[in-house]
Protein backbone atom coordinates (compact mmCIF):
# COMPACT_ATOMS: atom_id res chain seq x y z
CA UNK A 1 0.00 0.00 0.00
CA UNK A 2 1.28 3.48 -0.88
CA UNK A 3 1.83 5.45 2.33
CA UNK A 4 3.34 8.53 0.69
CA UNK A 5 1.17 11.50 1.70
CA UNK A 6 -0.05 13.93 -0.94
CA UNK A 7 -0.42 17.54 0.15
CA UNK A 8 -1.47 20.13 -2.40
CA UNK A 9 -0.28 23.72 -2.40
CA UNK A 10 -1.86 26.67 -4.16
CA UNK A 11 1.06 28.96 -4.96
CA UNK A 12 0.93 32.52 -6.34
CA UNK A 13 2.77 33.10 -9.62
CA UNK A 14 6.40 31.86 -9.63
CA UNK A 15 9.24 32.62 -7.22
CA UNK A 16 10.43 29.99 -4.72
CA UNK A 17 8.14 27.06 -5.51
CA UNK A 18 11.20 24.82 -5.90
CA UNK A 19 11.32 24.69 -2.10
CA UNK A 20 8.39 22.24 -2.30
CA UNK A 21 9.95 19.44 -4.39
CA UNK A 22 13.13 19.94 -2.37
CA UNK A 23 11.24 19.26 0.87
CA UNK A 24 9.23 16.45 -0.72
CA UNK A 25 12.45 14.58 -1.42
CA UNK A 26 13.63 15.00 2.15
CA UNK A 27 10.28 13.98 3.64
CA UNK A 28 9.18 11.15 1.33
CA UNK A 29 6.03 13.02 0.41
CA UNK A 30 4.23 14.20 -2.72
CA UNK A 31 3.73 17.96 -2.92
CA UNK A 32 1.89 18.99 -6.09
CA UNK A 33 1.88 22.75 -6.62
CA UNK A 34 -0.89 24.57 -8.51
CA UNK A 35 -0.09 28.10 -9.64
CA UNK A 36 -2.57 30.94 -9.70
CA UNK A 37 -1.75 34.24 -11.30
CA UNK A 38 -2.17 37.91 -10.53
CA UNK A 39 0.22 40.76 -10.04
CA UNK A 40 3.13 39.90 -7.75
CA UNK A 41 3.17 43.37 -6.22
CA UNK A 42 3.34 43.51 -2.43
CA UNK A 43 0.51 46.02 -2.10
CA UNK A 44 -2.78 45.63 -0.27
CA UNK A 45 -5.25 45.91 -3.21
CA UNK A 46 -3.23 43.48 -5.32
CA UNK A 47 -2.89 41.02 -2.44
CA UNK A 48 -6.62 41.12 -1.77
CA UNK A 49 -7.19 40.23 -5.41
CA UNK A 50 -4.57 37.48 -5.32
CA UNK A 51 -6.28 35.75 -2.39
CA UNK A 52 -9.81 36.23 -3.69
CA UNK A 53 -12.26 33.31 -3.72
CA UNK A 54 -12.25 32.97 -7.49
CA UNK A 55 -8.50 32.68 -7.76
CA UNK A 56 -8.25 30.17 -4.92
CA UNK A 57 -11.09 28.13 -6.40
CA UNK A 58 -9.07 27.87 -9.61
CA UNK A 59 -6.09 26.59 -7.62
CA UNK A 60 -8.27 23.99 -5.93
CA UNK A 61 -9.60 22.87 -9.33
CA UNK A 62 -6.06 22.41 -10.64
CA UNK A 63 -5.09 20.33 -7.60
CA UNK A 64 -8.17 18.09 -7.61
CA UNK A 65 -6.77 15.47 -10.05
CA UNK A 66 -3.91 14.87 -7.58
CA UNK A 67 -6.40 13.82 -4.86
CA UNK A 68 -4.57 15.68 -2.06
CA UNK A 69 -5.18 14.70 1.55
CA UNK A 70 -4.85 18.34 2.55
CA UNK A 71 -4.52 21.68 0.76
CA UNK A 72 -2.71 24.84 1.84
CA UNK A 73 -2.90 28.32 0.30
CA UNK A 74 0.85 28.92 0.17
CA UNK A 75 0.87 32.67 0.55
CA UNK A 76 1.38 34.64 3.75
CA UNK A 77 0.55 38.15 2.57
CA UNK A 78 -2.38 36.93 0.48
CA UNK A 79 -3.97 35.59 3.65
CA UNK A 80 -3.08 37.91 6.56
CA UNK A 81 -3.97 40.97 4.45
CA UNK A 82 -7.61 39.99 5.01
CA UNK A 83 -7.22 40.42 8.77
CA UNK A 84 -7.78 37.71 11.40
CA UNK A 85 -11.46 37.11 10.65
CA UNK A 86 -11.06 37.45 6.91
CA UNK A 87 -8.15 35.00 6.85
CA UNK A 88 -10.29 32.43 8.65
CA UNK A 89 -13.19 33.00 6.27
CA UNK A 90 -10.81 32.62 3.32
CA UNK A 91 -9.70 29.19 4.53
CA UNK A 92 -13.24 28.09 5.38
CA UNK A 93 -14.49 28.99 1.91
CA UNK A 94 -11.57 27.19 0.28
CA UNK A 95 -12.16 24.10 2.42
CA UNK A 96 -15.72 23.88 1.12
CA UNK A 97 -14.28 23.59 -2.38
CA UNK A 98 -11.38 21.23 -1.68
CA UNK A 99 -13.38 18.90 0.56
CA UNK A 100 -10.24 18.12 2.57
CA UNK A 101 -8.50 19.78 5.53
CA UNK A 102 -7.38 23.19 4.28
CA UNK A 103 -5.28 26.06 5.64
CA UNK A 104 -3.09 29.00 4.67
CA UNK A 105 0.44 30.09 5.45
CA UNK A 106 -0.78 32.72 7.90
CA UNK A 107 -2.81 30.16 9.81
CA UNK A 108 0.18 27.80 9.63
CA UNK A 109 2.31 30.33 11.50
CA UNK A 110 -0.15 30.39 14.38
CA UNK A 111 -0.33 26.59 14.51
CA UNK A 112 3.46 26.28 14.41
CA UNK A 113 3.95 28.78 17.24
CA UNK A 114 1.34 26.95 19.31
CA UNK A 115 3.04 23.61 18.64
CA UNK A 116 6.37 24.99 19.81
CA UNK A 117 4.84 26.81 22.78
CA UNK A 118 6.19 30.19 21.65
CA UNK A 119 4.57 33.57 22.27
CA UNK A 120 7.34 36.15 21.67
CA UNK A 121 8.78 36.58 18.20
CA UNK A 122 10.93 38.76 16.01
CA UNK A 123 9.72 39.36 12.44
CA UNK A 124 12.07 39.86 9.50
CA UNK A 125 9.71 40.63 6.61
CA UNK A 126 10.61 41.18 2.99
CA UNK A 127 7.52 43.30 2.32
CA UNK A 128 7.06 47.07 2.28
CA UNK A 129 6.38 48.46 5.74
CA UNK A 130 2.59 48.85 5.44
CA UNK A 131 2.12 45.22 4.38
CA UNK A 132 4.60 43.88 6.93
CA UNK A 133 2.76 45.65 9.73
CA UNK A 134 -0.43 43.82 8.82
CA UNK A 135 1.41 40.56 9.55
CA UNK A 136 2.48 41.91 12.95
CA UNK A 137 -1.14 42.90 13.62
CA UNK A 138 -2.31 39.43 12.60
CA UNK A 139 0.09 37.79 15.05
CA UNK A 140 -0.87 40.20 17.82
CA UNK A 141 -4.56 39.39 17.33
CA UNK A 142 -3.70 35.78 18.23
CA UNK A 143 -1.84 36.77 21.39
CA UNK A 144 1.67 36.61 19.89
CA UNK A 145 3.96 39.38 21.09
CA UNK A 146 6.09 40.88 18.33
CA UNK A 147 9.16 42.11 20.21
CA UNK A 148 11.05 43.17 17.10
CA UNK A 149 9.89 44.03 13.61
CA UNK A 150 11.64 44.88 10.37
CA UNK A 151 10.59 45.27 6.74
CA UNK A 152 13.02 45.05 3.83
CA UNK A 153 10.74 47.08 1.58
CA UNK A 154 10.88 44.74 -1.42
CA UNK A 155 8.03 45.54 -3.79
CA UNK A 156 7.53 42.30 -5.70
CA UNK A 157 7.63 38.55 -5.13
CA UNK A 158 9.91 38.15 -8.15
CA UNK A 159 12.54 40.32 -6.46
CA UNK A 160 12.27 38.28 -3.27
CA UNK A 161 12.66 35.06 -5.27
CA UNK A 162 15.95 36.36 -6.63
CA UNK A 163 17.53 36.82 -3.20
CA UNK A 164 20.65 34.70 -2.76
CA UNK A 165 21.19 32.36 0.18
CA UNK A 166 23.66 34.87 1.59
CA UNK A 167 21.11 37.67 1.32
CA UNK A 168 18.44 35.58 3.04
CA UNK A 169 20.92 34.72 5.80
CA UNK A 170 21.85 38.39 6.24
CA UNK A 171 18.18 39.37 6.49
CA UNK A 172 17.65 36.81 9.25
CA UNK A 173 20.82 37.42 11.23
CA UNK A 174 20.41 41.17 11.06
CA UNK A 175 16.89 41.19 12.45
CA UNK A 176 16.93 38.85 15.42
CA UNK A 177 16.18 40.13 18.94
CA UNK A 178 17.41 38.94 22.31
CA UNK A 179 13.88 38.87 23.78
CA UNK A 180 12.40 36.78 20.96
CA UNK A 181 11.82 33.04 21.28
CA UNK A 182 11.82 32.60 17.51
CA UNK A 183 12.48 34.52 14.30
CA UNK A 184 9.70 34.60 11.67
CA UNK A 185 10.43 35.20 7.97
CA UNK A 186 6.99 35.44 6.32
CA UNK A 187 7.22 35.24 2.51
CA UNK A 188 6.67 32.10 0.43
CA UNK A 189 8.47 33.88 -2.44
CA UNK A 190 11.74 33.49 -0.51
CA UNK A 191 13.89 30.36 -0.77
CA UNK A 192 14.71 29.48 2.83
CA UNK A 193 14.72 25.72 3.29
CA UNK A 194 18.35 25.18 2.31
CA UNK A 195 19.61 27.69 4.88
CA UNK A 196 17.36 26.78 7.83
CA UNK A 197 19.81 24.62 9.81
CA UNK A 198 22.52 27.26 9.56
CA UNK A 199 20.13 30.03 10.62
CA UNK A 200 18.99 28.12 13.68
CA UNK A 201 22.56 27.23 14.58
CA UNK A 202 23.68 30.85 14.40
CA UNK A 203 20.64 32.29 16.18
CA UNK A 204 20.31 29.51 18.75
CA UNK A 205 16.50 29.44 18.45
CA UNK A 206 13.75 28.29 16.07
CA UNK A 207 13.44 30.04 12.74
CA UNK A 208 10.02 29.80 11.12
CA UNK A 209 9.93 30.56 7.40
CA UNK A 210 6.88 30.71 5.18
CA UNK A 211 7.50 27.66 3.00
CA UNK A 212 8.64 25.63 6.01
CA UNK A 213 5.49 26.30 8.08
CA UNK A 214 3.27 25.84 5.01
CA UNK A 215 4.67 22.35 4.40
CA UNK A 216 4.48 21.48 8.10
CA UNK A 217 0.84 22.60 8.23
CA UNK A 218 -0.08 20.53 5.20
CA UNK A 219 1.45 17.39 6.65
CA UNK A 220 -0.19 18.07 10.01
CA UNK A 221 -3.60 18.39 8.43
CA UNK A 222 -3.03 15.27 6.35
CA UNK A 223 -2.21 13.31 9.50
CA UNK A 224 1.16 12.35 8.04
CA UNK A 225 4.02 13.12 10.46
CA UNK A 226 7.38 13.66 8.80
CA UNK A 227 10.60 14.60 10.57
CA UNK A 228 13.84 16.04 9.21
CA UNK A 229 16.69 17.91 10.87
CA UNK A 230 17.12 19.73 7.56
CA UNK A 231 13.90 21.62 8.23
CA UNK A 232 14.66 23.00 11.66
CA UNK A 233 13.19 22.71 15.15
CA UNK A 234 9.62 22.70 13.82
CA UNK A 235 10.28 19.34 12.16
CA UNK A 236 11.92 17.73 15.17
CA UNK A 237 10.35 14.38 16.13
CA UNK A 238 6.84 14.84 17.51
CA UNK A 239 6.30 18.39 16.30
CA UNK A 240 4.09 17.66 13.29
CA UNK A 241 1.35 16.27 15.51
CA UNK A 242 1.67 18.88 18.23
CA UNK A 243 -0.45 21.59 16.65
CA UNK A 244 -3.62 19.55 16.44
pLDDT in tens, 4-17: 999 999 999 999 99
One domain for residues 101 and 135: no
The whole-model pTM stands at 0.94
pLDDT for residue 175: 85
Mean predicted confidence (pLDDT) in 6-29: 96
Distance CA 210, CA 189 (A): 8
One domain for residues 173 and 155: yes
One domain for residues 189 and 124: yes
One domain for residues 11 and 101: yes
Is the pLDDT reported for residue 81 higher than 70? yes
238 within a domain of the structure (yes/no): yes
2 within a domain of the structure (yes/no): no
217 within a domain of the structure (yes/no): yes
One domain for residues 129 and 80: no
- The secondary structure of the chain as a DSSP string is -----BEEEEEESSSSTTHHHHHHHHHT-B--EEEE-S--B-SHHHHHHHTSHHHHHHHHHHHGGG--SEEEE--SHHHHTTHHHHHHHHHHHHHHHH-S-EEEHHHHHHHHHHHHT--EEEEEE-S-HHHHHHHHHHHHHTT-EEEEEEE----BHHHHHT--HHHHHHHHHTT--TT-SEEEE--TTS--GGGHHHHHHHHTS-EEEHHHHHHHHHHHHHT-----GGG-GGGSTTHHHHT-
The structural domain count of the chain equals 2
One domain for residues 102 and 215: yes
Task: Compare 210 and 157 and report the one with higher pLDDT.
Answer: 210
Query: For residue 243, what pLDDT band results from cuts at 50, 70 and 90?
Result: very low
25 within a domain of the structure (yes/no): yes
One domain for residues 136 and 66: no
One domain for residues 80 and 143: no
Q: What rounded mean pLDDT belongs to the chain?
A: 93
86 within a domain of the structure (yes/no): yes
One domain for residues 184 and 154: yes
Q: What is the pLDDT of residues 96-112, one digit of tens each?
A: 999 999 999 999 999 99
One domain for residues 146 and 202: yes
Query: For residue 241, what pLDDT band results from cuts at 50, 70 and 90?
Result: very low
One domain for residues 201 and 121: yes
226 within a domain of the structure (yes/no): yes
Q: What is the pLDDT of residues 179-227, one digit of tens each?
A: 999 999 999 999 999 999 999 999 999 999 999 999 999 999 999 989 9
157 within a domain of the structure (yes/no): yes
One domain for residues 218 and 169: no
Paired sense of beta strands 207-209 and 182-185, if any: parallel
1 within a domain of the structure (yes/no): no
CATH of the domain at 82: 3.40.50.12500
Is the pLDDT reported for residue 239 higher than 70? no
Is the pLDDT reported for residue 65 higher than 90? yes
Q: CA nearest 241: which of 225, 229, 228?
A: 225
Which residue segment(s) compose the domain that 92 sits in? 7-108+211-242
pLDDT for residue 233: 95
Amino acid sequence: MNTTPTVGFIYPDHAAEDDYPLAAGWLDAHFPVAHIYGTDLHAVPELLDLGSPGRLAEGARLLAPQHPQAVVWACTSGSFVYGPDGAEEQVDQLAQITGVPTSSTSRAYLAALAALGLTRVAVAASYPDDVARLFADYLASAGVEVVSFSSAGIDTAAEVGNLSADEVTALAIGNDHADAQALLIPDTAMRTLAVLPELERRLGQPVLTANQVTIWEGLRLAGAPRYSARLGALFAAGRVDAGR
